[in-house]
Amino acid sequence: MSEIYALGTNFKTAPVEVREKLACKTEDLPDLLRELKVKSGVEELCILSTCNRVELYTVSPSEGNVELLKEEFLKLKGSPKAGKYTFIKKGEEAVFHVFKVASSLDSMVVGEPQIVAQFKESFQVARKAGTVGKILNRLFEKALKASKRVRVETGISRNAVSVSYAAVELAKKIFGDLRDAKVLLVGAGEMGELAVNYLRRHGCRLFITNRTYERALRLSQRLGGNALRFEEMESYLPTLDIVIVSTGAPGYVITKEMVKRAMKKRNYDPMFFIDISVPRNIDPEVGSIDEVFLYDIDDLKEVVENNLKDRLREAKRGEIILWDEVKKFMLWLESLKVEPLILKLKLLVREREKESPYVRKIVHRAIKEMKRNPEAASIILRIFQEEVEDVHGREGLSYVYNRVDGT
């Protein structure tokens, strides 16, 4: 019977320069899938291509076809020497790997949610290309079910594991409800942009300033905020709740004296400062002012590292769930071996089954036993053929099972 295989490269097995060469554009996948399936002789095929992995999931009658698939893929991508970075997993090990990928337990950042959408998309592309069938259909369906179980039953996605998102989580702890909180982004650094994007989703009001006003204006149009002039920043400070600084300035753009004046004007309502700049752009002494909360990049990284440790502990629980789902899938896969025998059994009694409720009962019980015990399926079928001749023998069914057991 054909086996399930998983092969390819990922961030654990290959450096980024190798993964870049093997990466597949979504629009190129349908033709690539069909060509590889024909050239290699595999029965079913799907390709998952992300920034961290390029993996092929396949059903094949032999390992030779899988080796050929690997060679053809590397050849088509112009990287025949990348073979030393590839892995091949087979059977239960391959199924576990696929489930682990879909559940983000194999991701660079454990628990990251993007992989679920990428996993679904890769399957949809293969399905439309006509390169998946009964087994991969079931594999992906059960992998997504396992992924949902892991997310619901563990805490792998509970805590922030990016610096920007950690900043937002800290803001929520300080202010609770972030709706209508006023947020100022100083500068145009990438992490700062990510942080304000997260905050905007919580209903915050966004303001942006930059030494170059035109740049602040462009950024505010893109992010959906209001541009402020950099030289007027201090006059706006008392009206703000959260200030995120992400610039390339060599010194402090926000000083202790500026914040002391702002806090006095706002009657010491809490303010939250996030300094994602390196070197720091907010005077560390700002954190000593009453009701002012200041976090720099190192503080945020410490939060992230602690959260990652929590996620890794939860990932161990997630793997137990995955093995439970893998075992169920493997039982289904094993039951496919008896499908031809079940079909033969049904053809054998097609007419008699209509006439006799007793025969229908025996057929139902025999099929159930064949699925439960695939190794004995051919014996069950042979005994059934003998026993069904006497449809009135009410003792027959237990006799069938005794003979299967060899007693």
d(CA 312, CA 131): 35
> pLDDT (tens digit, 9 = 90+) per residue, 360-390?
666 667 666 666 666 666 666 666 666 555 5
pLDDT band at 407 (very low <50, low <70, confident <90, very high): very low
CATH of the domain at 180: 3.40.50.720
pLDDT band at 320 (very low <50, low <70, confident <90, very high): very high
CB atoms within 10 A of CB 157: 16
Q: Is 51 a catalytic residue?
A: yes
Which of 24, 46, 51, 204 is the catalytic position? 51
Q: What is the residue-averaged pLDDT of the chain? A: 85
> pLDDT (tens digit, 9 = 90+) per residue, 49-69?
998 899 999 999 999 999 999
Alpha helices in 231-338 (DSSP H): 233-236, 256-265, 297-335
Q: Which of 94-98, 164-168, 243-247, 280-284 has the highest mean pLDDT?
A: 94-98
Whether residues 149 and 185 share a domain: the answer is: no
Contact 34, 130 (CB under 8 A): yes
Question: Chain-centre distance of CA 396, in angstroms?
Answer: 52
Whether residues 299 and 382 share a domain: the answer is: no
Whether residues 25 and 112 share a domain: the answer is: yes
Q: Which pLDDT score is estimated for 198?
A: 81
Phi, psi (deg, nearest 5) at residue 260: -60, -45
Given 304, 329, 363, the domain boundary residue is 304
Whether residues 270 and 400 share a domain: the answer is: no
> pLDDT (tens digit, 9 = 90+) per residue, 127-150?
999 999 999 999 999 999 999 999
3-17, 190-204, 250-264: least confident range: 190-204
- Give the pair of three-digit tokens for residue 266: 């706002």
Q: Which pLDDT score is estimated for 300?
A: 83
Whether residues 172 and 222 share a domain: the answer is: yes
Whether residues 280 and 254 share a domain: the answer is: yes
Domain that includes residue 134, residue range: 3-153
Whether residues 8 and 145 share a domain: the answer is: yes
Q: Please, what is the angle between helix 163-175 and helix 190-201, to 10°?
A: 40
Domain count, the chain: 3
Instruction: Count helices and strands (H / E) in the chain.
Output: 17, 10
CATH of the domain at 92: 3.30.460.30
Answer yes or no: is 317 within a domain.
no
> pLDDT (tens digit, 9 = 90+) per residue, 256-282?
999 999 999 999 999 999 998 878 899
Instruction: State whether residue 349 is helix, strand or coil.
Output: coil
Answer yes or no: is 338 within a domain.
no
Answer yes or no: is 309 within a domain.
no
